[in-house]
Amino acid sequence: MLPRNRWFIAAALAYALLGGLLGLIWLADPGLLPVLALRAHAHLMLVGFVGMMIFGVGLHVLPRFTGHNLFSERLADAQFWLANVGLLAMVLGWFSARQLVSAAGGAALWLAFALFALNVAATVRPWARRG
Ligand code: HEM
Ligand code: HEM
């Protein structure tokens, strides 16, 4: 497995722990956290844990399932940075109530999803002839 795909999985586990910790703190005393902490929890879990796990596993297994190389490793590298910087900025923006920071993070995150979609579509290549 390529280091980048391992890093996607390591990041997923780190987000699960971080998001889970936020949930636990919320359970203990919601007053300790800012109002948008639950939105941060939801995205750390859903985009951070579930999404990054799908990215890491998907980039590893889809080329193997289809018998085609990944369309572009460089696109996947760019996707890694956009997804992680984007998610962290979005969450930090919500925590500090800075809408511009969360909007910029959200845009980077969206771009990461777009690169993944493009890379996977071009790898699976539904239009290619099958042997
Ligand atoms: C250690 C594990 C977890 C803990 C302690 C935890 C805790 C919490 C708490 C306390 C809430 C707020 C409930 C309320 O009062 O409205 C919440 C909401 C939520 N959690 Fe978790 N959770 C955990 C894992 C997860 C996972 C694995 C996911 C998804 C993959 C998830 C997704 C959500 C979502 C989407 C919400 C709703 C957020 C909102 O209403 O804005 N949680 N969680
Ligand atoms: C480009 C990526 C994303 C951006 C910019 C984004 C942004 C947002 C925003 C701004 C809200 C708040 C809506 C409101 O109540 O006013 C929200 C809510 C929510 N999003 Fe996302 N989101 C993204 C990706 C995702 C993904 C991939 C999932 C699930 C797999 C997800 C699950 C949710 C859920 C469950 C809520 C409602 C819970 C809450 O507001 O705390 N989001 N999202």
Digit-coded pLDDT (tens) for 42-79: 999 999 999 999 999 999 999 999 988 999 999 999 99
Predicted structure pTM score: 0.95
In a domain, 131, yes or no: no
In a domain, 129, yes or no: no
In a domain, 74, yes or no: yes
pLDDT at 129 over 90: no
In a domain, 11, yes or no: yes
Residue range of the domain that includes 101: 3-124
Number of domain units in the chain? 1
Residue type, 112: A
In a domain, 59, yes or no: yes
In a domain, 83, yes or no: yes
Closest CA to 62 of 122, 127, 131, 9: 122
- Please give the distance, rounded to the nearest whole angstrom, from the Cα atom of residue 89 to the centre of ligand 1: 20
In the block, which residue shows the tokens 């639950």?
Answer: 38
Q: Is 86 in the pocket of ligand 2 (CB under 6 A)?
A: no
Q: What is the mean pLDDT of residues 97-110?
A: 97
In angstroms, rounded to a whole number, what is the distance separating the alpha carbons of residues 35 and 94? 9
Question: Looking at residue 68, what DSSP letter applies?
Answer: S
Q: Is 109 in the pocket of ligand 2 (CB under 6 A)?
A: yes
* Spatial contact of 44 and 91, defined as CB atoms under 8 Å apart: yes
In a domain, 42, yes or no: yes
Nearest residue (by CA) to ligand 1, atom 3, is: 20
* Spatial contact of 44 and 15, defined as CB atoms under 8 Å apart: yes
Which pLDDT score, from 0 to 100, does residue 118 have? Answer: 97
Chain-centre distance for alpha carbon 123: 19
Which pLDDT score, from 0 to 100, does residue 125 have? Answer: 82
In a domain, 130, yes or no: no
